[in-house]
């Protein structure tokens, strides 16, 4: 994936630290993994820890795509909201899937120690903020997460959110104290180092050009070698291509763009006090403060690849829209990664035929879910753990080819447009209410000084006149039309 600058600002360029080795000789292993992203590397690490001989075949280099360009936020759950999951598969299975997603997050936490992965920089807490007022929905959601899904959460009122993030763009928030963030680039390269240490062999610059999954020993062809394995795990995400094109076509490729600002000085701390990850509930913005006074921010998406340099100004504008007090923001580095979005919004995890496994479609939330997939597949191969079957209701659905990409982009734009419009309306209502309250206070004060009582509002026709004290009718309403 491309970057606007070759220099590394967040963490070392770990790709340069390891010497790449290409598969140049034929090989026989227990498990062959296609793809050295988070999914493939976790399968490899877990399978090697369980004693298998493992080879990972990577067409470019470790973390080349999304896995080496993510923001490192680790949360429970999936891209698909809990309510939609319950509607689709029922409450009990949703609970089990949710528990697996939490275990995935804990798996990342267990690996993400400074001893195992130097420079991992783990810090705690993530905040999901809403672009609209969702007070009542928030309470229901908190209850469900806390009581039914055993997930530690706190509901933050608007004032609390705005004390931490000085913007009128966000309203309520759900705080996940057990969520955390890590240096995403260091994590994927650390995972590769752990897998190697456990005995897995990782071959880079080794694209898999075809596979023959029939028979007990399956065959893989690369440009300069052949490989035989009892199990093949396809973890190539959207780039899998020729070896199983029908599988690639079940994913809608979505390029997500991110950037790191130049140091922003003290004004950043005055604007953003919160030190964990912030994610808005519409999936538009995702950011956090790094290195004390820089912002790392992911925002726009496209369904075809565009140079990240072209999106740097858009990200700077987005930051300024949310936090105008930061003034013009200089972007020091911009990058992108392609995520695979499934039609149903859930990852593809499971066995396609005996010994042929798939782990892909992790969307925007890939850290906990790839960790979970790696564990599920390795444990199924070795221990017969069948919990991957919980993903069976989410079949491989064709994502619509080029037409699907155009439609996906249009739907994405429409969703962003509609949530932006809902956000604008919510802010308008809030301003109107504030103005109304100020007018009422002024009127009450004027009445108090004049020693008069406020005029009574007439009830609508047909409704009994209320008995209790009445609210003064506002005069000189500036924000007419708000509710
Ligand atoms: C900007 C951005 C920010 C993100 N932030 C977060 C975040 O904060 N938290 C979070 O949980 N998720 C985040 N994500 C999502 C997360 O990065 C992805 O869900 C995850 O990395 C997907 O991992 P993967 O292993 O499935 O795919 P990939 O990372 O795409 O890895 C697949 C690998 O397979 C290789 N490959 C493909 N085909 C072949 C072949 N035929 N032969 C050999 N090799 C092949 C590719 O070269 C590639 O290296 C973010 C994504 C982006 C783009």
- 242 Cα nearest atom in ligand 1: 41
Question: Ligand 1 center to residue 92 CA distance, Å?
Answer: 30
Q: Find out whether the beta carbon of 57 lies less than 6 Å from any atom of ligand 1.
A: yes
CA distance 244 to 23: 20
Phi, psi of 4 (to 5 degrees): -80, -25
pLDDT reported for residue 471:
35
Q: Is the CB of 44 under 6 A from ligand 1?
A: no
73 Cβ closer than 6 Å to some ligand 1 atom:
yes
Distance CA 191, CA 44 (A): 9
Quote the pLDDT of residue 116. 97
Q: Which of 128, 134, 175, 136 is nearest to 153 (CA)?
A: 175
Beta bridge partners of 220: 211, 227
What pLDDT does residue 409 have? 63
> Does ligand 1 come within 6 angstroms of the Cβ of 369?
no
Torsion of CA 79, 83, 86, 91, to 10 degrees: 120
Q: State if residue 60 touches ligand 1 by the CB under 6 angstroms criterion.
A: yes
Return the structure tokens found at 204: 């880079």
Tokens of 324: 């105008």
C-beta of 256 in contact with ligand 1 (< 6 A):
yes
Q: Is the CB of 298 within 6 Å of ligand 1? A: yes
Q: How high is the pLDDT of residue 223?
A: 96
Q: Which atom of ligand 1 lies closest to the CA of 40?
A: 25
pLDDT at 450: 77
Is 36 a pocket residue for ligand 1 (Cβ < 6 Å)? Answer: yes
Residue identifier of the C-alpha nearest atom 19 of ligand 1:
366
Residue with CA at minimum distance from ligand 1 atom 37: 236
**pLDDT recorded at residue 261:** 98
Atom of ligand 1 nearest to the CA of 181: 8
CA-188 nearest atom, ligand 1 = 21
Residue nearest atom 25 in ligand 1 by C-alpha distance? 37
pLDDT at 2: 42
Query: 36 is written with which tokens?
Result: 């050295």
pLDDT at 442: 81
pLDDT for residue 210: 95
pTM of the predicted model as reported, rounded to 2 decimal places: 0.85
User: Does residue 234's CB lie within 6 angstroms of at least one atom of ligand 1?
Assistant: no
Instruction: Judge contact between 360 and 216, C-beta under 8 A.
Output: no
DSSP string, 51-100: T--EEEE-SS-TT-SGGGS---EE-SS-SS-HHHHHHHH-HHHHHHHHHH
- Say how many C-beta atoms besides its own lie within 10 A of residue 257's C-beta: 24
CB of residue 79 inside a 6 A radius of ligand 1:
no
- Atom 15 of ligand 1, residue of closest alpha carbon: 364
Q: 189 CB less than 6 Å from ligand 1?
A: no
Task: Tell me, in angstroms, the distance from the centre of ligand 1 to residue 322's CA.
Answer: 28
- Among protein residues, the one with the nearest Cα to ligand 1's atom 21 is 67
From the list 391, 395, 357, the residue with the least C-alpha distance to 97 is 391
Full pLDDT tens readout for the chain, 483 residues:
444 333 333 333 444 445 679 999 999 999 999 999 999 999 999 999 999 999 999 999 999 999 999 999 999 999 998 999 999 999 999 999 999 999 999 999 999 999 999 999 999 999 999 988 887 778 788 889 999 999 999 999 999 999 999 999 999 999 999 999 999 999 999 999 999 999 999 999 999 999 999 999 999 999 999 999 999 999 999 999 877 888 888 899 999 999 999 999 999 999 999 999 999 988 889 999 999 999 999 988 888 899 999 999 999 999 999 999 999 999 999 999 999 999 899 999 999 999 999 999 999 999 999 999 999 999 999 999 999 999 999 987 777 676 666 666 666 666 666 666 677 777 777 777 777 777 778 878 877 777 765 544 444 444 444 343 333 333 333 333 333
| 297 CA to centre of ligand 1 in angstroms | 18
**How many other CB atoms sit within 10 Å of the CB of residue 311?**
25
- Per-residue pLDDT, 72: 98
Which ranges in 144-273 belong to alpha helices (H)? 158-164, 184-198, 245-248, 266-271
């Amino acid at each position: 994936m491309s970057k606007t600058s070759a220099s590394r600002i967040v963490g070392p360029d770990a790709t340069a630290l390891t010497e790449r080795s290409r598969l140049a000789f034929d090989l026989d292993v227990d498990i062959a993994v296609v793809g050295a992203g988070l999914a493939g590397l976790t399968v490899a690490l877990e399978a090697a820890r369980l004693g298998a001989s493992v080879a990972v075949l990577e067409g470019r280099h470790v973390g080349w795509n999304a896995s080496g360009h993510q923001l490192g936020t680790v949360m429970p759950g999936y891209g698909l909201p809990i309510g939609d999951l319950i509607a689709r598969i029922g409450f009990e299975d949703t609970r089990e899937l949710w528990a697996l997603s939490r275990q995935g997050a804990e798996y990342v936490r267990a690996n993400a120690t400074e001893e195992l992965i130097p420079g991992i920089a783990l810090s705690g807490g993530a905040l999901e903020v809403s672009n609209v007022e969702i007070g009542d929905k928030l309470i229901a959601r908190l209850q469900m997460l806390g009581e039914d899904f055993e997930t530690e959460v706190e509901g933050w009122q608007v004032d609390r959110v705005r004390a931490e993030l000085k913007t009128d763009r966000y309203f309520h928030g759900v705080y996940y104290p057990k969520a955390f963030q890590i240096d995403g680039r260091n994590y994927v390269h650390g995972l590769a180092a752990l897998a190697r240490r456990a005995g897995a062999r990782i071959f880079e610059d080794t694209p898999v050009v075809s596979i023959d999954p029939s028979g007990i020993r399956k065959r893989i062809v690369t440009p300069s070698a052949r490989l035989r394995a009892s199990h093949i795990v396809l973890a190539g995400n959207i780039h899998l291509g020729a070896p199983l094109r029908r599988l690639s076509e079940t994913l809608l490729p979505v390029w997500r763009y991110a950037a790191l600002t130049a140091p922003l000085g003290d004004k950043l701390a005055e604007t953003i006090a919160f030190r964990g990850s912030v994610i808005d509930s519409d999936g538009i913005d995702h950011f956090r403060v790094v290195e004390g006074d820089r912002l790392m921010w992911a925002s726009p998406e496209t369904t075809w690849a565009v140079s990240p340099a072209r999106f740097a100004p858009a990200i700077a504008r987005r930051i300024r829209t949310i936090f105008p007090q930061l003034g013009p923001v200089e972007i020091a580095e911009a990058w992108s990664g392609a995520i695979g979005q499934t039609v149903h919004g859930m990852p593809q995890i499971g066995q396609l035929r005996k010994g042929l496994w798939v782990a892909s479609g992790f969307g925007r939330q890939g850290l906990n879910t790839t960790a979970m997939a790696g564990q599920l597949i390795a444990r199924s191969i070795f221990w017969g753990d069948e919990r991957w079957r919980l993903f069976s209701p989410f079949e491989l659905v064709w994502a619509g080819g080029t037409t699907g990409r155009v439609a996906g982009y249009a739907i994405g734009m429409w969703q962003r447009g509609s949530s932006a419009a809902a956000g604008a309306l919510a802010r308008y209502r809030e301003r109107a209410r504030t103005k109304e309250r100020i007018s009422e206070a002024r009127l009450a004060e004027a009445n108090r000084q004049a020693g008069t009582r406020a005029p009574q509002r007439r009830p609508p026709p047909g409704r009994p006149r209320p008995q209790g004290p009445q609210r003064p009718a506002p005069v000189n309403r500036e924000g007419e039309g708000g509710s």
